[in-house]
Structure 1
């Protein structure tokens, strides 16, 4: 107890250097974010249903308190040091929590006269996220270049503030939530292939472990229900992000179910344990009263992440029979959970027929894509070679591609609720497009025969046009390089498909299984070996662009001639 009191006493005495650093952050806040323009931007963003997913229940209290702070800074420029000292004093004070604490009482401890640095950090993250949705905002930026510079500047300010909070060495729920939202910000702004995004997700996972939130089986008798749900949601969203980023980058996940016990959000305390072999063999409970919300989105993301984690393990399975048996079990679980979703939360018809608000439409798209991506990974686990996609894998890829293409055409009616549309295209759309391209280019297989080539080509053309014209992504945006490399290769394939220059598949004349076809017949296809979890980053598309069927013979001959002349 004495050590805790001494530690708390040191928290109450931040150094003069810390206070001065905080004052510099406040000065940057004053000069970079005029209160009037920033309020207009944030209001426009939240009116579309957008928010920061983890802190939504008390987010507006944080925003309003920081706007008041900004106005105070504008009126009293010489008080930054005193204000910094007050913010440190509040941030170093432990939150007073009991089982009877309401969310309003919780918010009172971090806003208004008790404003903490973490609340200011949430505001900075929200402003940066909001800027990504609006091309111009009077008083903040007028061009794409200015907007990009504005986002980078405020994001770096958010980074500085987060680092300052963590330097206090008193990790708490607010800092964990700020770490998560800061990671999402870097994912949206820098792209998931950025090391900054990768490192910051690792930091969130480390904090989850440090706080013990990976072991939710322990009874928390003094924690109010709303805070327990916030912690459950923080773990669930981080668990989902860990699986999605690992799959996208082709890297191992860092948050393993084997070492965790965690609950599904808003699901009557359903516990997922590391020892469970089939944790989702029974449908998760939903009701017709479940509405479009971040809680609903988090719940579904957790369900899909559990299934994807199983598939990542299955992809390491060497025994083909066990591999198939376990994969088919996951497919059954995925379909069971999809059927358990209330009908109004499922997208079962073209998106254009859903006359709902942007936030709801975006969640409809995200929910369906997450489900289809789970089936995509399952079918990927069933094929012997990535370069030889099965008809089932090609079919689900075409379904993903079609939904992504439709979403890009209707992007004006969607909100960037959690993940941006660009992220959905890069993560879901490129994986599906890559698999379809492999199917079309492999003359030894007949998986592409199940495709409606006219629809597939049309969907691919939509993606290419959206990227080339800058309607979807700009040069300075995250994932531009990846999307640019992909669309160049896809465009080459489309051009050759339209002109009839792609190989024609002969009808099979024997009963030989396609599994027995030697991959050595196509050395190029051997680039993708057996049982690989193929990431669809830029290198994939660069390699695919060098496929013999995508190289013009005249260009190849010219290259050979030039080489001969040089020699």
Structure 2
């Protein structure tokens, strides 16, 4: 009697006939699916379907795919509805019958999987193999460990990065087999299909144990390779991986590509969760570094992150959600706050409408300056205010969302008619900004120059970010009150001079700073360029109108010269960097202005047609501003001597 033969996994799940040929069956070979044609060692053994409760287990190698539960076919053809608000059909029907509330539909479809995900597994596995063929995993792990030792981390998911890195050692044990990447990818898919479970008594350790070591998920890999991509920005030379800029860029882009595939796989499961949202945010940050802040890829991804935030219902009052441990509530508030801040900053920088507005969202402010991990391990903020508060990524988030709220108020005023209450409202925003500044812990306020500040590199970068965020709010308020950007007044000039001076000092002292939430290029582009643009307009106006109040420009011209020189010689940005086009365009215009300032040529009269270009929209993108600025008649090419 002929023994019974098992079908390969792909044919079995698709319920198709398999000819059992090894190592690849005919059907998989003909459909170019050889990579996922896998036969189980014990195909007729019944599986257990129960899942043990999350707990902290000792580090061990990943279970083989044969030892793990198989994917469950999608139990329902309907999509995951996510959060359903007060105007939804679920809220209406909940008044009719106690069973009409569809709030549990979100959890009911979790853990589903369809055969269409196989190509994503193949892509993710192939990219993982390609990356680790070019860059040894041991070296990649060492890079992240070295980067973390510098005091840097991912701004939102920092508490998990070291543990995710440690979990990558399990991958080393799986790489001996020739087909390791596919077996590993399938194991990650099975782990990722499980919901993250917690209750009121859960701890941070029990929560994180569900995606570490033997429970490693695709999101775990995503956070690790997000850290890899970010580490290449701060570590310019790492001999075991790269010794040239080409190798550095290659690893950065390959890590981002792998993160993109991982995110697609996670989203295909249709079971959005906290870890996935955190990974989505870090993926957006990676794109802003690799593609640039003006890239559509970055713009689209912050929109996707906001969509996920709404789908999870984290725009609502998180304190009111039952059976959620305090540290997860704090983690969700921190994530929502950071996403809200990023939305406002990008909207201002690009001159586009914000997508996450206070009118439809509960504004979340982290409860303390220390972070959700401190709360998870028993720290409670002091009520007497005597405790020493240190600079943290959460502190940067807390201050950023305070400033972002004021920036949204300013952006709303742009849509209003300037009536008798306009100045009063703008003044109220300015006064609130000053009050918030005074309420900051004293050690967070940079009152003098940066070189006089005593602190470690992280704290030094932190106080710079805090001060620049505050100055930007004041800058935008003054910009609101101008009749035209081409006619800046003394108030906005004073703020712009301080902004530019601080950005220039940050450029010069960059070797004494580490990223506390925003990179150096972010500070230059988001704060330095608007300040420089207003100052150029002010100097041009004074140059063409002799009756204006004279303003000393010596320090400003020094700062502009340093700004141009640092960009020109490539110390802060290179032609391969994504924001190079913007900065090079701006510095060319600034250089032409500085040349004209030192020339003896009589300036041409003011061109009203050119001035009209600046009145199109206060919130035009930076690139458009510098394009228009370059057309100023006083910046015409100088005649050759």
Range class of TM-score, shorter chain: 0.7 to 0.9
SS in 1 for 2:253: helix
Correspondence for 2:636: 551
Preserved CA contact (<8 Å) 1:240 1:305:
yes
Whether 1:306 aligns to 2:405 is yes
Among 625, 634, 639, the alignment partner of 1:540 is: 625
Q: Which runs of 5+ in 1 are unaligned?
A: 269-283, 506-519, 559-567
Among 552, 575, 579, the alignment partner of 1:479 is: 579
Correspondence for 1:454: 554
Preserved CA contact (<8 Å) 1:400 1:428:
yes
Offset from partner CA, 1:107-133 (integer Å, 9 cap, x none): 111101111110100011100011011
Whether 1:397 aligns to 2:529 is no
How does 1:293-332 map onto structure 2 within 5 Å? 293-332=392-431
Correspondence for 2:192: 91
Whether 1:523 aligns to 2:609 is yes
Preserved CA contact (<8 Å) 1:391 1:447:
no
Correspondence for 2:132: 30
Preserved CA contact (<8 Å) 1:323 1:381:
no
Deviating more after overlay: 12-21 vs 68-77: 12-21
Change (3 A) 1:125 1:467: same
Change (3 A) 1:494 1:39: same
Preserved CA contact (<8 Å) 1:387 1:528:
yes
Preserved CA contact (<8 Å) 2:306 2:356:
yes
- TM-score, normalized by length of structure 2? 0.77
Count of residue pairs the alignment pairs up: 524
SS in 1 for 2:363: strand
Preserved CA contact (<8 Å) 1:286 1:340:
no
Preserved CA contact (<8 Å) 1:27 1:80:
yes
Cα distance in 2, alignment partners of residues 347 and 447 from structure 1? 36
Deviating more after overlay: 54-63 vs 475-484: 54-63
Cα distance in 1, alignment partners of residues 123 and 428 from structure 2? 55
Among 583, 587, 590, the alignment partner of 1:490 is: 590
Cα distance in 2, alignment partners of residues 550 and 99 from structure 1? 65
SS in 1 for 2:321: coil
Which structure has the larger Rg over C-alpha atoms? Answer: 2
Offset from partner CA, 1:516-548 (integer Å, 9 cap, x none): xxxx97332121127x32445223222212211
Higher relative contact order (CA 8 A, sep 6+): 1
SS in 1 for 2:154: coil
Quote how far apart the aligned CAs of 1:10 are: 2.9
Change (3 A) 1:19 1:333: same
Quote how far apart the aligned CAs of 1:26 are: 3.4
Cα distance in 2, alignment partners of residues 457 and 192 from structure 1? 27
Quote how far apart the aligned CAs of 1:137 are: 1.4
How does 1:76-475 map onto structure 2 within 5 Å? 76-216=177-317, 219-266=320-367, 288-443=387-542, 449=549, 451-475=551-575
Cα distance in 2, alignment partners of residues 42 and 19 from structure 1? 25
What's the RMSD between the two structures over aligned residues?
2.6
Quote how far apart the aligned CAs of 1:39 are: 2.6
Quote how far apart the aligned CAs of 1:19 are: 4.0
Offset from partner CA, 1:25-69 (integer Å, 9 cap, x none): 432343244133213321222122211111122221112112x13
Quote how far apart the aligned CAs of 1:13 are: 8.0
Change (3 A) 1:40 1:366: same
Correspondence for 1:499: 599
Cα distance in 2, alignment partners of residues 285 and 177 from structure 1? 33
Quote how far apart the aligned CAs of 1:80 are: 2.6
More helix by share: 1
Deviating more after overlay: 187-196 vs 53-62: 53-62
Cα distance in 1, alignment partners of residues 111 and 629 from structure 2? 61
Change (3 A) 1:121 1:165: same
- TM-score, normalized by length of structure 1? 0.87
Cα distance in 2, alignment partners of residues 287 and 479 from structure 1? 43
Q: Which runs of 5+ in 2 are unaligned?
A: 1-74, 77-104, 370-382
Change (3 A) 1:232 1:287: farther
SS in 1 for 2:554: helix
Preserved CA contact (<8 Å) 1:148 1:477:
no
Quote how far apart the aligned CAs of 1:383 are: 0.9
Offset from partner CA, 1:355-408 (integer Å, 9 cap, x none): 322111111111110000010001001111111111101110000000000000
Preserved CA contact (<8 Å) 2:604 2:634:
no
Change (3 A) 1:487 1:9: closer
Deviating more after overlay: 216-225 vs 408-417: 216-225
Cα distance in 1, alignment partners of residues 143 and 421 from structure 2? 53
Deviating more after overlay: 488-497 vs 141-150: 141-150
Among 144, 147, 164, the alignment partner of 1:45 is: 147
Quote how far apart the aligned CAs of 1:78 are: 2.8
Cα distance in 2, alignment partners of residues 151 and 225 from structure 1? 35
Offset from partner CA, 1:444-495 (integer Å, 9 cap, x none): 6689856431100000011101100001101101210100000000011112
Quote how far apart the aligned CAs of 1:263 are: 2.4
